[in-house]
C-alpha cells in the first residue's frame, strides 16, 4: 500500500484497485442493508437525508453508518484503515457515510473540499470512498482536481444540493486538471481532506451506491470555534430551506 503514498502526496488522491475482497464487500453491502432497515428510520434529517421525506426509498445520503455494528468494526480494522494509515500516518476513525444516487437521479455533487467541513488544524484527513456498484461517467463517479490539496482551504458558499450544504466558490477548472475515476466494487478511491472533488449525476439506469470512511490524522485537532461558526451558518441555512427532523 505504501506504493500509493507518493502519488497520493503528489496528486491528493489515489485509486486503489481490488483493495477489498469478497468478504469485505459482503460486510459493506450487508451492513448497509441492516443500517437502512433497522437504524436509518430512527435518525433525524441532519444525519439521514431524503429527497422526499414521505418516501423512504428516496434516501440520498447518511453520515452515521458507523451506528451499524459491523460497519463500526470495519472502520477500525482491516484494509481501509490500513490504507489511510499508509497515506497519512496514525489516524482517528470518524464517521462513515452513505452516498446514494438512484437510477436517473441526475443531481451532481458540487465541487468541494471535505476539509472545509472538518475544520481541522492541521487540515489532514482522508476519505476512503468504496463503491458498491460499478461507477463511471454515466452514473456519477468522483472527479478530483489533481494537486488541489496543496491550495489550502478555499472559499465555499451555500449550495442547494441535499447533503452538501457548501460548494466551492472558484471554478474547479481554474485550479488544475480534473481526473475522472471510474471504479468497480472492490476498488477504492481515497482523497485528502483538501482535494477538490465533485461528481456528476446518475444519468444511467444503474444504481450508484458508495460508502465513505473518514479518517482524521491522529495529530489533527478540531478547531471548535470554527465548527461552532460553521454549525450556526448551517442551522440558519437549514431553517431558511425549511429542512426539519423526520
Ligand atoms: O459520492 C459523492 O457524490 C460525494 C462523495 C464525497 O464528496 C466524499 O466522499 O467526500
Percent with pLDDT over 70 in the chain? 96
Spacing, Cα 95 to ligand 1 middle (Å): 13
Q: Which of 84, 98, 142 to mutate to test the pocket of ligand 1 (most atoms within 8 A of CB)?
A: 142
Spacing, Cα 166 to ligand 1 middle (Å): 13
- Encode pLDDT of 28-57 as tens digits: 999 999 999 999 999 988 899 998 888 888
Spacing, Cα 197 to ligand 1 middle (Å): 8
pLDDT band at 163 (very low <50, low <70, confident <90, very high): confident
Pairing mode, strands 59-62 and 91-100 = antiparallel
Task: Specify whether the backbone of 101 is left (phi greater than 0), alpha (psi in -120 to 50) or beta.
Answer: beta
Ligand 1 atom closest to Cα of residue 199? 3
The reply to whether CATH 2.60.120.620 applies to domain 3-241 is: yes
More confident residue, 73 or 245: 73
Domain ranges of the chain: 3-241
Classify 152 as helix, strand or coil: coil
- Encode pLDDT of 44-92 as tens digits: 888 999 988 888 888 999 999 999 999 999 999 989 999 999 999 999 9
Between CA 230 and CA 71 the distance in angstroms is 28
Between CA 61 and CA 59 the distance in angstroms is 6
Once rounded to an integer, what is the mean pLDDT over residues 169-190?
Answer: 97
Once rounded to an integer, what is the mean pLDDT over residues 159-177?
Answer: 88
pTM: 0.93
Q: Give Cα 157 distance to the centre of its chain.
A: 18
Amino acid at each position: 500500500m505504501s506504493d500509493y503514498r507518493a502519488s497520493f502526496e503528489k496528486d491528493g488522491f489515489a485509486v486503489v484497485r481490488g483493495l477489498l475482497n469478497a468478504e469485505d464487500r459482503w460486510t459493506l453491502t450487508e451492513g448497509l442493508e441492516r443500517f437502512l432497515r433497522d437504524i436509518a428510520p430512527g435518525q433525524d434529517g441532519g444525519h439521514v437525508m431524503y429527497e422526499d421525506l414521505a418516501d423512504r426509498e428516496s434516501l440520498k445520503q447518511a453520515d452515521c453508518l458507523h451506528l451499524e455494528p459491523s460497519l463500526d468494526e470495519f472502520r477500525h480494522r482491516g484494509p481501509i484503515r490500513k490504507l489511510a494509515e499508509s497515506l497519512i500516518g496514525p489516524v482517528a476513525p470518524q464517521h462513515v457515510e452513505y452516498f446514494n444516487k438512484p437510477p436517473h437521479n441526475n443531481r451532481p455533487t458540487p465541487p468541494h473540499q471535505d476539509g472545509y467541513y472538518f475544520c481541522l488544524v492541521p487540515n489532514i484527513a482522508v476519505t476512503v470512498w468504496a463503491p458498491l456498484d460499478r461507477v463511471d461517467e454515466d452514473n456519477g463517479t468522483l472527479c478530483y482536481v489533481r494537486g488541489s490539496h496543496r491550495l489550502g482551504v478555499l472559499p465555499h458558499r451555500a449550495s442547494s444540493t441535499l447533503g452538501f450544504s457548501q460548494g466551492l466558490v472558484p471554478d474547479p477548472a481554474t485550479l488544475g486538471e480534473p481526473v475522472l475515476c471510474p471504479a468497480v466494487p472492490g476498488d477504492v478511491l481515497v482523497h485528502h481532506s483538501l482535494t477538490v472533488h465533485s461528481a456528476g449525476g446518475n444519468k444511467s439506469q444503474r444504481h450508484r451506491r458508495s460508502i465513505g470512511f473518514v479518517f482524521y490524522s491522529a495529530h489533527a485537532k478540531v478547531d471548535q470555534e470554527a465548527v461552532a461558526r460553521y454549525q450556526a451558518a448551517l442551522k440558519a441555512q437549514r431553517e431558511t430551506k425549511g429542512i426539519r427532523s423526520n
